Amino acid sequence: MSIETTLLQRSGSKCEMCTAESNLSAYELPESPEKSSDCAVMLCGTCLDQINNPDTLDANHWRCLNDSMWSQVPAVQVLAYRMLNRLDADWSRDLLDMMYLEEDVKAWAEKGVLIAAMTDTPARDSNGTILQAGDNVNIIKDLPVKGSSLVIKRGTAVRNIGLTDNPLHIQGRANGTAMVIISAYCKKM
C-alpha cells in the first residue's frame, strides 16, 4: 500500500491539519527518522502552500491547530508543534504551553524547529539590526576569548564579518585573531 493511500485512510480523506477535503496530497516531514506513512501527513493545498512558502503564512488559517494538536498521530503532533512555533502570536504560544508530546516525539519536533530557525532567522546585533556578511561591527562588552587569556575590549572594531550556520554567531577578526563572536554582543557600525 502506498504512503498516500495509507494517509488517505488514516485521515478519512481530509487534511490532517484543517480538515479540508479537496486538493489533498501527502507531505513528508523534514528531519524525520524514516521515510514512511508514520512520518508524513495528509495536507490540503492551502496548508501545504503556507508550509512551503512562509511568506504567505495566514495565522487565522492555522487556528485549526487548536484541534489538530491533540491528534494521536505523532507526525500530526510534530507538524502542529512546528507550525505553532513558526507562528508568533499570543494564541499560538498559549497552545504550545498546553501541548504535551512524548519525549521522542518532542525531540523530533524540536529538531525541525531548530533547523528552520537556523535557516530562516538572520543574524542580528544587540539592537536587532540584521547583520550581513561584510558588515563592520563594534564589540559592546569586554569578551574573554575561550581557550586563551585574551580579552576583546569593548569598542573593538570587527571589520568584514562573516556569517555562520548559527544566526546567534558571526565570524570575524578582532585584534588580529580570527574567532566566532556572539552577535548579541556586537553593534553594527
Distance, CA of 171 to CA of 180 (rounded, Å): 4
Quick one: pLDDT at residue 112?
Answer: 67
Residues 84-96, buried b or exposed e (16+ Cβ, 10 A)?
A: bbbbeeeebeebe
Are 115 and 182 members of one domain? no
- pLDDT > 70: what percent of the chain? 94
Give residue 27's domain range. 3-120
Are 111 and 184 members of one domain? no
List pLDDT tens digits, range 95-114.
989 999 999 998 888 886 65
Specify if 126 maps to a domain: no
Count of domains in the chain? 2
* 119: pLDDT strictly greater than 70: no
In the chain, at which residue ranges do the beta strands (DSSP E only) sit? 25-28, 40-43, 137-139, 143-144, 151-152, 157-158, 162-163, 169-174, 177-182, 186-188
pTM metric for this prediction? 0.61
Report the CATH number that the domain containing residue 153 is assigned in CATH: 2.30.30.40
List pLDDT tens digits, range 71-94.
999 999 999 998 998 887 889 889
Q: For residue 37, give the C-alpha cell.
A: 506513512
List pLDDT tens digits, range 30-45.
888 888 889 999 999 9
Specify if 36 maps to a domain: yes
How many CB atoms are located within 10 Å of the residue 24 CB? 21
